[in-house]
Every structure is written in C-alpha cells, then in structure tokens.
Amino acid sequence: MFMRLDVRFLTAAVALVIIEGLCGVINALQTIKLAALSASQTVMLLVASASVLIVAAYFAVEEFMPSEMGNLDRFVEVHKAMQAHTGPWH
C-alpha cells in the first residue's frame, strides 16, 4: 500500500519520464525530416512515437479521472466507525 506522499512522487516521476519521451518524439520527428531513412526505420520511429503518445494519453486520463473516490468513501466510513467507537478525541 502506498502512502499519499509516495504516490505524489511516483506521479511526478512518471510525468517527468513522459516529458522526456515527448522530447524524444520531437527528436525522432526531426530525424525523419532531416535524414533519409529506410522504410523499416521510419516505421520503427513512428511505432515508438505512437507508443509514447499512447502512454502519455493513458497517464493523463488515469490521473484526471476520479477513480480513487471509492477508496475515499471507504476511508470516511472507517473513520466514522472509529470515532463512534472511541470518540473524536481518543
């Protein structure tokens, strides 16, 4: 189980890796424009670029979707049960 701070660090690390990957995509597109590449090299660059874009899009969707709300509701239920059992100041 991750703690909230760990999840924030992991999110920041993944975001930085995605930014680095997007920089790589830009470099790859410059390579396609400036150098004469074979068909297989072009296909490999496009597949790699597409995979980075797909991962970045998936990460963005997962980050901004409220998928953790179910866990938050469970936390509130447990917290209320603990307060009812021991009181709010114990």
Task: Write down the residue that tokens 């059992």 correspond to.
Answer: 85
| Residue 41 structure tokens | 């090299």
- How many domains does the structure of the chain reveal? 1
Q: What is the pLDDT of residues 41-80, one digit of tens each?
A: 889 988 999 999 999 999 888 887 766 555 566 666 776 7
The answer to whether residues 31 and 48 touch, using CB atoms and an 8 Å cutoff, is no
Whole-structure pTM value: 0.60
- DSSP assignment of the chain: ---HHHHHHHHHHHHHHHHHHHHHHHHHHHHHHHS---HHHHHHHHHHHHHHHHHHHHHHHHHHS-TTHHHHHHHHHHHHHHHHHH-TT-
The parent domain of residue 73 ranges over: 4-86
Q: What is the pLDDT of residues 30-41, one digit of tens each?
A: 888 888 889 998
